[in-house]
Structure 1
């Protein structure tokens, strides 16, 4: 009986000590179960195709993902890879570079019931913390640990980006010229940039390129940001420079294709994406980007035919829509949590009159859990457009524009929501339809745009019109 109690006490002590570690098991990484397969795919792609000095962290993350899937032996193998990499390529990091890996070992052995081995790694962490005079037995406060946590959060998706930013900021306060900290910070800000007109990531990306002149991945992100802020020529210079290199080519092809699609060079974009797809046929990102290229070609044909496409043009559109649908479906088979891919798919169904399929996919997007606020705004915007243009339901369109605007996030989609609502309100006023409601909506638009004088003017007109209609009011 006493022996059993001793074992339980030993297990409890190890768990308490493990909880003090700084590693993937304690960083509260937000990863939905449905997103785990896609995360693992992206990790393997990064290991194979991204030329980086920071692969120790990616093997640690792979170990954690393997554990989430119940594959603890495979997880151990990944930690072995991380440790080998430290000894081969990062001997200069001393024991600090191993702290995260040792912490993950301790947790993994604890979960496997191998408590003596868990204790061995706890002892390694404790020895290192004492060696560097840490205030804590099992964790250290240092920029390298903040950076490792930042990378882990960044790799696990949008719900973790704000915390990732805080980690990199904390690390940069100690070492503002550190190339790795700078790269992580710049990428995080780029991912957080929900408004293309925003420039919060521009200077950090420039700084990261300056500190990492050989890093082609960070160069293409800078190129895309420059394109966002109407500095496309400078951006293209970085794109061509990156394409002339052989490092991280798979990632360069992806982002260069995105750059050229947005520039209107769709054939060039498709050529680059097809090259990349030969190497990584199960990339949801690539299938989605190819689908967006076909969609762009649909819009190009429609814009060239002022009276609406007919004959051969109509056939070409139908063919391109089918290709886009196929690619978006493939995207969602690979990544069921890709919210905007449902919207892209819905819009292509609507394009050929398949309104029921369109509605189903819009509803899937509208009902997604843990969807980022800027994405929610875009979904309401595009569903509102669908109701207005394809279902002749301006009331439902207004409802969804308003739902999008209730979300306070300042994003590109929010600007579009305000514009769409304003156009509908002005159209109704022009045709004397729902005058009080339309004036109120117009007042709301002006208020949200910060023009209180115009807002008050609209509200007063609405009030006068109400009094005119109801003299007893």
Structure 2
């Protein structure tokens, strides 16, 4: 049976490794997006459910995976899009030790494919497209594979709308991996910008193209153009959760917190259980308080904490909103609640090393700046560095230690020796 399953073209045979992705974040993103979007482009809904089913499986939730696949099957408008769905069905049943049902789906696929002497181009394109988009969505480690998949498809169909859009998005994400400003590709020379503009001519109703062009403009200080793209995106897709979140985050960067809050509250009416929307609302209230020069404003802090708590309840497995909630408790001097929240997070069993590193850095900050416990803070900054340079938090832990060292010339915590030990490795 296993040999037959390996021949199927679906998420289980595309070599998407769970160690490479943040499964909790992917689960919440797709669950929330699918709950909001009602007028989906093409096979977005069916593909999204296929993808979510695979994420559920990777998390050990095979019953939930089957539920997603049943919904995906209902969303299929003909046999071709169901090929990946049926393949996923077969694999999930196999993993549930139910090879009898798995074989039924293998036979269904054989029946569909056997109706043609050679696989039709429409079928090949559908599967290839879903595979490429899955690479792009799964993890940054798969951006290159996504780009190569779209690029290969374009060789046969250079004017295809979806291939061009996918290729442009792949380039956008790949260029976005470069965090150093001096290494970034200038706007005029950016392959991503060139391809996004081309994609827009072929796919003028795609709001996300405007979002990505807007972000490219913003990074290159072309703010007027950026605003134009963001406004168009919002007008084109007022019910798209991803578009609304991107636009709101852009407005936050522009320090237009009231505008961002207006966008977020509107989409919240359509997605009241979106933890990401609640998290963004809380962030904007916090920055609004800073903008007003009144960071202890009780009304704004109350709204901030309300949405932070709501977001944390809706998505308890996503650590960053939880940490921020602990910090908000600290801001209102409810240190007992803050410490309890930090303690709960540390005891989570599914913390990734990067999450744990962030926890140590922020708990160190809490001890240093709120409780005045320098020694405890130093211990946590050191613990964060011991996890190695796996995220930007490592550098932040090191910088905190250097700052303490500058203030404490006697180096009672042996900070210099500790930091030097990393240079020797």
Q: Give the TM-score normalised by structure 1.
A: 0.69
Q: Tell me which structure has the larger Cα radius of gyration.
A: 1
Unaligned runs of at least 5 residues, structure 1: 1-12, 88-94, 134-139, 449-473
Counterpart of 1:394? 374
Counterpart of 2:147? 169
Alignment of 1:415-426 (within 5 A): 415-426=395-406
Counterpart of 1:69? 63
Deviation at 1:48, TM superposition (A): 2.1
**Is this contact kept in 1: 2:37–2:241, CA < 8 A?**
no
Counterpart of 1:336? 316
Counterpart of 2:289? 298
Q: Structure 1 runs of 4+ off > 6 angstroms?
A: 31-37
The superposition leaves residues 390-442 of structure 1 with CA deviations (integer Å, 9 ceiling, x where unpaired) of 1212222222223333444465444433432222211112xxx3268254367
412 and 107 in structure 1: CA distance in 2 versus 1, 3 angstrom threshold: closer
Q: Give the TM-score normalised by structure 2.
A: 0.76
Pairing 1:20–2:2 present: no
Counterpart of 1:103? 87
Deviation at 1:240, TM superposition (A): 2.4
How many residues matched? 398
Deviation at 1:19, TM superposition (A): 3.4
What is the rounded CA distance, in whole Å, between the counterparts of 2:331 and 2:346 in structure 1? 20
**Is this contact kept in 2: 1:288–1:341, CA < 8 A?**
yes
Pairing 1:270–2:261 present: yes
What is the rounded CA distance, in whole Å, between the counterparts of 1:300 and 1:333 in structure 2? 28
Counterpart of 2:414? 437
The superposition leaves residues 194-244 of structure 1 with CA deviations (integer Å, 9 ceiling, x where unpaired) of 958574898464255224312222332443455456554443232123234
What is the rounded CA distance, in whole Å, between the counterparts of 1:194 and 1:349 in structure 2? 34
Alignment of 1:49-448 (within 5 A): 51=41, 54-61=44-51, 68-70=62-64, 72=66, 75-82=69-76, 84=77, 86=78, 99-107=83-91, 111=98, 113-114=100-101, 117-124=104-111, 127=114, 131=118, 145=127, 147-152=129-134, 155=137, 160-175=138-153, 178-183=163-168, 185-186=170-171, 189=174, 193=177, 195=179, 199=184, 203=190, 205-213=192-200, 214=204, 215-224=206-215, 226-227=217-218, 231-246=222-237, 249-301=240-292, 304=293, 314=296, 317-371=297-351, 374-409=354-389, 411-429=391-409, 433-434=410-411, 437-440=414-417
- RMSD of equivalent CA atoms: 4.1
What is the rounded CA distance, in whole Å, between the counterparts of 2:10 and 2:273 in structure 1? 29
